[in-house]
Structure 1
Amino acid sequence: MRPFFIFSIFIFFNSCQYFEKQVPSEKELLQKELKSINWKEVDEYPTVADCETITDKKERQKCFFDFMSQQIQQKLDTDTLSLLYPELDTVNVKVTVFPNAKIKFEPQFSKDSTSYNKTEIDSILQARLVDFPKVNPAIKRGLPVKTQFILPVILKSKEAKNQLHKK
């Protein structure tokens, strides 16, 4: 019995080498993890206090975009953009939300829009879009990240412009 016991211990310790696996290096693990991350998606979209209570990710995103569009429209409704450019009914605004919760707004124009003074429109946007409600940045893997998106902002409906011109 004793020789069998010693023999089985000998086999047990020698068989471990057959199960040995090569452990990947730290750099290989990091590269594999970085490749598995979808950098075009965030875990949580930027949000505002009004949308915090919504738990569904898509509904929260929609609430945020609707809120941002509405806020920008309200701030631009009383502006001279519609008087300076009556044919301009929609402005695409590139919104950047930084990890420190700061917001930057930039007007986006199509390549064929040469009839607009882009600098003037940009300065009007920058002057009007101040004192914006606090926006919480997007979250990726537990960390705040920079996000950018383009919002189409309707300046005035065509009916309102027509009524304005009839007066």
Structure 2
Amino acid sequence: MRKSILPALLFLCLSCNFETKKISSEEVLEQESKALNWKEVDEYPAFEECKNLSELTEARSCFEKKINQTIISVLVAQQPVVTKSIDDTLYLYLEIDHSGNPKITEIEVDPTITNQLPDIRKWLRQSIDSLPKIYPANKRGIPVSTVFKMPVVVKAE
């Protein structure tokens, strides 16, 4: 009986095809890069009071609310005087770099606003410069830059 098991065992071992393919680290990185959604982050940029929010939508909402409050407080403090009422929206493109530094990359503003408020761009830059410390967004634990398109409603009478 032992003699019949040995050839069968030998046959099984020799008939198995153990094929391995060596994958380079560059191939793994390329496959991983294709699988990642680079338009989304794992953690949004955050201020100190928003840092502990784990829900992505809550964290984003908290971050945007703080920026809006800061912009509004700076604009209201300027006490602008207008000759015609304004009820318009401008768009602020805000970049938070991988170190957490904010920078306005573009401002889309209608000429009717700039005619009434020629210093609006300067005030917006001042408001962004007055923001408290920002923790950058993270993707897989690595700080990354993000850009936000933020609407700013301008109402003045």
Q: What is the aligned partner in structure 1 of residue 146 from structure 2?
A: 147
Contact residue 44 and residue 137 of structure 2 kept, 8 A: yes
Q: What is the aligned partner in structure 1 of residue 54 from structure 2?
A: 55
Q: Kindly report the root-mean-square deviation, in angstroms, between the aligned alpha carbons of the 2 structures.
A: 2.9
TM-score, with structure 2 as normaliser: 0.79
In percent, how many aligned pairs have the same letter?
A: 30
Trace 1:1-167 onto structure 2 (pairs within 5 A): 1-17=1-17, 19-79=18-78, 83=82, 87=86, 89-109=88-108, 113-114=110-111, 116=114, 121-155=120-154, 157=155, 161-162=156-157
CA distance in 2, matches of 1:37, 1:25: 19
Distance 1:82 1:36, change over 3 A: farther
Aligned residues: 155
Distance 1:129 1:56, change over 3 A: closer
Contact residue 137 and residue 144 of structure 2 kept, 8 A: yes
Task: Report deviation, 1:126.
Answer: 2.4
CA distance in 2, matches of 1:71, 1:103: 13
**Aligned-partner SS, 1:135:** coil
Is the deviation greater in 36-45 or in 100-109? 100-109
Q: Could you list the runs of 5+ residues in structure 1 that have no partner in the other structure? A: 163-167
Task: Report deviation, 1:3.
Answer: 2.9
Deviations 1:4-31 (A, max 9, x none): 34313422331232x4254444433322
Task: Report deviation, 1:33.
Answer: 1.2
CA distance in 1, matches of 2:72, 2:107: 15
Contact residue 107 and residue 122 of structure 1 kept, 8 A: no
TM-score, with structure 1 as normaliser: 0.75
**Which 4+ runs in 1 deviate beyond 4 A?**
80-86, 117-120
CA distance in 2, matches of 1:82, 1:5: 99
